[in-house]
Structure 1
């Protein structure tokens, strides 16, 4: 069992800070790294895999530094987001090449074993450039697992994968986590993380936003103040009535609609129709104005 630790790790490129003072402890089981696109997830993965040096702080695996420690590569498997650039190889050749790079004494046997594990034995004789997105993802995972690493890092592994293949990959990652491997996968899609990992780490704009049980963090996301755009036949009258409601934090008139911020979504949603009827106002539209993951994560960072 392995523990991957980031201690106040930062990484900058010139004047651009990609990762800012992040501390994480990733242990056995499946952990989700959740954050919007551009949050710094890929940079974090590269530092954890030993392919990118931290500009400040430390990244260690079981107490040993990851950067410039080639022995660490025997314990780590990385599945990058970028597409494979070896389309002229067959799936079997690609996985076997990784087995040979690790100088496995039973490279041929290890290759066939892991191809069976990811359900890629039958298409293994085909070239990579004939594979679907899901097949390429599975063969990348096979190459990362062929040397049986204790740590598996996957950067956006479900991008472009159809539902059936996604279920297969999720089942595989669950089994690896249940076997005691340390599995970390990144995603910008909340539902993907919810279906696979109970423990999550949240990053946004290169900063560590939250850490812990998915359910607890999800409740923070749900309970945060929510902004709504409300259009009605009399915005001024409705706005004045809304200001008297306990669940409403603020109301402002923006052009042809009201910008309403509420603390208790349930209470607001239940009371709004009756309130409008009481003041003889017709509701035309009610829509959330800040439901993007970016706004959710920004709220978590600000807590």
Structure 2
């Protein structure tokens, strides 16, 4: 199932919330990353058909999401804003969702969805007695009750404790591996890095980067790449590396070398050649700034 976003913008008067965004999402888990106010929620609402784009098109499997109720047979949404009735039990809340989708056995579907998010044990308690993490899992169950092919989640881990967060990450990973198209938004780098290597990075309403965040980092030619290097003779290797055009700087410390290279490919090709020439064995070579935090910081500051 493919979710297509083509040239989409959304503005409110003179305020541009989303600006000319184009992306294609297929099966698997993708993180929608950006600081608060970047336009993530607005984009998700347009993807879910809750909000009309000011310009551009959004489709699920070729069908438009706006003014097309039939799309909800294929799509589930967990919004950031809570909209649960505290006097209902979790089973009643998810059962309503199952009935609205016209499922043939809504009670069984509700039970199955609650079990999937580990809420079966608490399903007969009123939602008003739940913690925020439990309410969040109940809402995910309601979005999954009809087994949608596309699942959109806006800050899905809010309020969850570490164990709940790890279980939800595992669930989303399993759903993505099974062929579901899953997009979740977050401003927490650790969540995205643990769950998905594929990211869509939004900054100030625009799509700043798209793809595997490690690949994105390597394409950032304007920012030096930092490597941690250990060898049998760090001092002699440092001297040899300083003569390389691709090396911007070398620091020698107790743990080895910290090398700042202007070009990722040139440095990684040159290092084995230099080590062989100098009779040095490289014991460790590790890019030390290929984290999602490095990518995100660069894009936000750019």
Deviation, structure 1 residue 187: 0.6
Q: Deviations over 1:37-82 (max 9, x none)?
A: 1100000100000000000010011111110011001110001111
Residue 104 of structure 1: aligned partner: 103
Question: Cα distance 1:103–1:151, how it changes in 2: closer, same or farther (>3 A)?
Answer: same
Conserved in 2, the CA contact under 8 Å of 1:5 and 1:25? yes
Q: Deviations over 1:253-294 (max 9, x none)?
A: xxxxxxxxxx96x74796xxxxxxxxxxxxxxxxxxxx9997
Identify the residue that residue 131 of structure 2 maps to in structure 1.
Answer: 132
| Structure 1 match to 2:120 | 121
2:62 is aligned to: 63
Task: State the 1:36 CA deviation.
Answer: 0.6
Deviation at 1:85, TM superposition (A): 3.6
1:297 corresponds to: 299
Residues 197-255 of structure 1: CA deviation (Å, up to 9, x unaligned): 121111110000001112223456798379xxxxxxxxxxxxxxxxxxx9xxxxxxxxx
Divergent runs of 4+, >4 A:
218-223, 291-295
Distance 1:125 1:219, change over 3 A: farther
Deviation at 1:159, TM superposition (A): 1.8
Q: 1:71 to 1:163 in 2, by over 3 A?
A: same
Q: Secondary structure at the match of 1:33?
A: strand
Aligned residue for 1:125, secondary structure, equals: coil
The alignment's TM-score, normalised by the length of structure 2, stands at: 0.75
CA contact (8 A) 2:34 2:187 kept: yes
Distance of 2:295 and 2:161 partners within structure 1: 22
Q: Could you tell me which residue of structure 1 aligns to residue 145 of structure 2?
A: 146
- Give the C-alpha shift of residue 158 in structure 1: 1.1
What is the CA–CA distance in structure 2 between the aligned matches of 1:296 and 1:161, rounded to whole Å? 29
**214-223 vs 160-169, greater mean Cα deviation:** 214-223
Question: Which residue matches 2:160?
Answer: 161
CA distance in structure 1 between the partners assigned to 2:138 and 2:219 by the alignment: 37
**CA RMSD between the two structures:** 2.3
Q: What does residue 286 of structure 2 align with? A: none
TM-score by length of structure 1 reads 0.75
Gap regions ≥5 residues in structure 2: 226-241, 254-292
Is the Cα–Cα contact under 8 Å of residues 34 and 203 in structure 2 kept in the other structure? yes
C-alpha distance 162-218 of structure 1, shift in aligned 2 (>3 A): farther
Cα distance between partner residues in 2 of 1:214 and 1:136 = 31
Contact 1:34/1:186, CA 8 A, preserved across alignment: yes
Find the aligned partners of 2:40 and 2:17 in 1 and give their Cα distance: 9
Query: 1:203-242 counterparts in 2 under 5 A?
Result: 203-219=202-218, 224=223
- Contact 2:157–2:165, Cα closer than 8 Å, also in 1: yes
**Closer/same/farther in 2, CA of residues 25 and 269 from structure 1, 3 Å limit:** farther
TM-aligned CA distance change 1:213 to 1:295, over 3 Å: closer
State how far apart, in whole Å, the 2-side matches of 1:100 and 1:269 are.
Answer: 66
Report the secondary structure of 2:298's partner residue: helix
Contact 1:7 1:57 in 2 (8 A): yes
CA distance in 1, matches of 2:68, 2:136: 27
Conserved? CA contact 1:36–1:294, under 8 Å: no
Matches within 5 A, 1:1-303: 2-219=1-218, 224=223, 267=250, 295-299=297-301, 302=302
Alpha carbons of structure 1 residues 56 and 268: separation in structure 2 relative to 1, 3 Å: farther
